[in-house]
Amino acid sequence: MCLRWNKIGDIGITGLGSAFSNHSNLILLELQVNNNNINTEGALGLSRSLEKCKNLSYFNLNISDNNIQQEGASNLISPLSNYSLLNRFQIDLGWNNIQAKGASDIVKTLSCCLNLQQLTLWAMSNNISDSSIKSLGQALVKLQGISSLSLSLQWNNICDYGIAELGLVLSQCSCLRTLQLAVNNCSIAEKGILDLINNLVQCNKLSILKLEIQQQEFVQEQKYINKCKKIKRLVELNIQLN
């Protein structure tokens, strides 16, 4: 269902969500409500309606370019703790000021989804900083069954320390086979990228790695490629230097 670029607001999204309560047997759900003037109250209203969609195995939600903030993000995802059949989840929360706490609360809730294997989390431009990104990483470690992870963290306040910390906790995701990480338009230099890759070397099952990085100084791509070659099971590598 695509309703982006409208003005449905909090009342509209709450009313729309109530329709889902009449379809508790839904297995697949795609909902695009980006750019719709949805605030914390609207996120809570949608959350209440999602409580009855417990049979979902695939859920794709785009709620970017609204203003749900930390509380809205936490409330929005809380019903998913009862989604025991959820296998694949994709959410776009870009430009919502959820900060790292909102993102980590989402991931903590998803740790209750024991069948979850694929997670896509877009959190561009959400005031996520070095001082708080560790909480997001620690929440990701609790997703024991995750084999495919896509993280988009562009336009945040992440520097060398933060990206190295994220790499350290990702190295503890024992089932991780595919990782896509976008951190362009942050403040990450060569040292941070190399520290990230050095930590990812510890991912024993990682076979596909895709990195999107914005250069803060000129570094030859081959330098990163040589580091990535130390990842034992890596068979596909894609590094984009913007």
**Residue 79: CATH number of its domain:** 3.80.10.10
Q: How many domains does the chain have?
A: 1
Residue 151 inside a domain? The answer is yes
> Alpha helices, DSSP H only, in the chain?
9-20, 40-50, 69-77, 99-110, 130-141, 160-170, 190-200, 221-228
| Alpha-carbon distances of 122 from 126, 180, 232, rounded to whole Å | 10, 11, 28
Residue 174 inside a domain? The answer is yes
For residue range 69-91, what is the model confidence (pLDDT) as tens digits? 999 999 999 999 999 999 999 99
Per-residue tokens: 196: 């990230």
Domain span holding position 72: 9-241
- Residue of higher predicted confidence among 41 and 132: 41
Three-point CA angle 18, 85, 48, nearest 5°: 20
Q: Chain-wide mean pLDDT for the chain?
A: 91
For residue range 89-107, what is the model confidence (pLDDT) as tens digits? 999 999 999 998 899 999 9
In 3D space, the residue among 4, 1, 89 whose CA is nearest the CA of residue 38 turns out to be 4
Residue 2 inside a domain? The answer is no
pLDDT of residue 163 exceeding 70: yes
Residue 4 inside a domain? The answer is no
For tokens 């089932």, the residue is 175
Q: Band of the pLDDT at 19, cuts 50, 70, 90?
A: confident
Residue 76 inside a domain? The answer is yes
Exposure string (b/e) for 177-210, b if CB count within 10 Å is 16 or more?
bbbbbbbbbbbbebebbbbbbebbbbbeebbbbe
For residue range 177-203, what is the model confidence (pLDDT) as tens digits? 999 999 999 999 889 999 999 999 999
Mean pLDDT of 9-28: 84
Asked if 151 and 121 count as a contact pair (C-beta separation under 8 A), the reply is yes
Residue % of the chain over a pLDDT of 70 = 98
Residue 88 inside a domain? The answer is yes
pLDDT of residue 164 exceeding 70: yes
pTM: 0.94
Per-residue tokens: 129: 């900083």
Residue 113 inside a domain? The answer is yes
Per-residue tokens: 236: 């596909």
> What is the Cα–Cα distance from 123 to 173, expressed in whole angstroms?
20
> What is the Cα–Cα distance from 54 to 115, expressed in whole angstroms?
13
Residue 1 inside a domain? The answer is no
> What is the Cα–Cα distance from 110 to 90, expressed in whole angstroms?
11
Question: Could you say which DSSP state residue 80 is in?
Answer: G
